[in-house]
């Protein structure tokens, strides 16, 4: 089965059924397990009863729902950002920001930047650290405005990017740093609050964070975190006014689900630490502290684990002709016995190499 795409009829949880065969599921991006959290589904039912299936109008119309502003205030408070704006997806959040900055500044893209943030500019190929050194020198070259785009986490090779270098950017020009925290928000930072509180920059540097809400938080939506001035400007843009917002029923569920998120985050950390304790002696699994994904250069591990009843993430990247990227992804849905079984299968694999 390893060379076939799986066509499913239902979302997987801690396990998945393929053609009548059950597998433990260690893939996907539902890090906190909200896609299969029954208590969260009950909150969503309440939201659907109140707001219906969707609201397809503009946030700028004459009909307003308080739940949007309430959700944005909660996200701002949770992350530590000054202001927040929600959108119908993380990709749209990125495009709103790109359109806001287009024509006002030169664009520079770090390796691995998500396509939602792409625009006309300079794309760097190489290691993130080399890009940082290049940007520090580039920022000192002249007074023109510049915008830098990057990720907080490399979700494929499972590496966390550091942003201590922001404090060393030149102070003679306006700089905007845009950080995609889609694979960190809800998982990294204090209680899963994401990257925002790690970011410290000079006054000439405007810090912006975007994120999908559809991964850890289980919400079909995205967000932009930044200054009130930035959020106000995007609010008044035609790209925001012409787009539908996230379904309000889901934002209602998100607001009510704060205790569920915290409980799931604690469970996820426990699963990560249990797995690390059982597998840390194997040199072919790579991650960083308290993160639920583990990269391995051992492509043969995926079919081996599949034979043992464990389905992990493996696909060719960046093109179908490239070598497969192989990862194990834990979630808050996994039970201790799942972690132990997976670790035992990996130990058996390690004994044969």
Domains with residue ranges and CATH for the chain: 15-37+259-350 (3.90.1150.10), 55-246 (3.40.640.10)
Q: Which of 7-21, 74-88, 275-289 has the lowest mean pLDDT?
A: 7-21
Share of the chain above pLDDT 90, in %: 86
- Using the predicted structure, report yes or no on whether residue 2 has a pLDDT greater than 50: no
* DSSP-derived secondary structure letter, 233: H
Write down the mean pLDDT value for the chain.
94
- Kindly state the average pLDDT of the residues 39-61: 92
**Could you read off the pLDDT of 195-245 as tens digits, one per residue?**
999 999 999 999 999 999 999 999 999 999 999 999 999 999 999 999 999
Q: Which two tokens stand for residue 298?
A: 């051992």
Q: Which two tokens stand for residue 157?
A: 């090779």
- Using the predicted structure, report yes or no on whether residue 13 has a pLDDT greater than 90: no
Q: 235, exposed or middle or buried, with CB in 10 Å at 0-12, 13-18, 19+?
A: middle
Which residues, other chains included, contact 268 with Cβ-Cβ below 8 Å and sequence gap of 6+?
Answer: 31, 32, 33, 187, 292, 330, 331, 332
Residue 132 phi, psi (nearest 5): -60, -50
- C-alpha 346/C-alpha 283 separation (Å) is 12
Give the dihedral sign, CA 180/183/186/188: negative
Q: Which two tokens stand for residue 61?
A: 């119309």
Predicted TM-score (pTM) of the model is 0.94
Which residues, other chains included, contact 2 with Cβ-Cβ below 8 Å and sequence gap of 6+?
Answer: 302, 303, 306, 314
- Using the predicted structure, report yes or no on whether residue 63 has a pLDDT greater than 90: no
pLDDT at 66: 94
Cβ distance 154 to 127 under 8 Å?
no
State which H helix or E strand residue 22 sits in: strand 21-26
**Could you read off the pLDDT of 145-176 as tens digits, one per residue?**
999 999 999 999 999 999 999 999 999 999 99
- Beta pairing partners, 146: 106, 175
Residue 223 phi, psi (nearest 5): -145, 155
Q: Which two tokens stand for residue 83?
A: 């202001």
- Using the predicted structure, report yes or no on whether residue 265 has a pLDDT greater than 70: yes
Q: Which of 63-67, 145-149, 179-183, 224-228 has the lowest mean pLDDT?
A: 63-67
Cβ distance 79 to 209 under 8 Å?
yes
Cβ distance 323 to 316 under 8 Å?
yes
- Using the predicted structure, report yes or no on whether residue 72 has a pLDDT greater than 50: yes
């Amino acid at each position: 089965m390893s060379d076939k795409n799986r066509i499913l009829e239902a979302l997987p949880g801690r396990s998945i059924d393929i053609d009548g065969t059950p597998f433990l599921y260690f893939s996907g991006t539902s890090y906190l397990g909200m896609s299969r959290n029954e208590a969260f589904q009950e909150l969503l039912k309440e939201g659907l009863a109140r707001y219906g299936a969707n609201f397809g109008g503009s946030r700028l119309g004459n009909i307003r729902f308080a739940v949007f502003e309430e959700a944005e205030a909660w996200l701002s408070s949770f992350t530590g950002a000054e202001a927040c704006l929600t959108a119908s997806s993380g990709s749209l959040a990125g495009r709103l920001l790109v359109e806001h900055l287009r024509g006002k500044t030169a664009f520079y893209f770090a390796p691995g930047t998500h396509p939602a943030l792409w625009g006309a500019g300079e794309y760097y190929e190489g290691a993130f650290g080399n890009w940082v050194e290049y940007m520090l020198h580039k920022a000192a070259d002249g007074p023109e405005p510049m915008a830098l785009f990057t990720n907080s986490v490399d979700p494929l090779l499972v590496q966390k990017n550091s942003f201590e270098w922001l404090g060393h950017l030149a102070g003679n020009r306006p700089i905007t740093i845009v950080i995609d925290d889609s694979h960190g928000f809800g998982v990294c930072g204090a209680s899963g609050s994401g990257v925002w509180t790690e970011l410290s920059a000079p006054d000439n540097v405007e810090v912006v964070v975007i994120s999908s809400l559809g991964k850890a938080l289980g919400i079909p939506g995205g967000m932009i975190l930044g200054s009130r001035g930035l959020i106000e400007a995007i609010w008044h843009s035609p790209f925001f006014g012409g787009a539908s917002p996230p379904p309000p029923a889901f934002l209602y569920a998100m607001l009510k689900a704060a205790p569920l998120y915290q409980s799931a985050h604690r469970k996820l950390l426990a699963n990560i630490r249990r797995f690390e304790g059982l597998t840390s002696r194997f040199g072919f699994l790579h991650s960083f502290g308290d993160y639920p994904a583990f990269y391995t250069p051992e492509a043969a591990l995926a079919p081996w684990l599949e034979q043992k009843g464990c389905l992990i993430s493996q696909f060719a990247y960046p093109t179908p002709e490239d070598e497969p990227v192989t990862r194990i992804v834990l979630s808050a849905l996994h039970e201790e016995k799942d972690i132990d079984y997976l670790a035992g299968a990996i130990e058996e694999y390690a004994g044969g190499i």
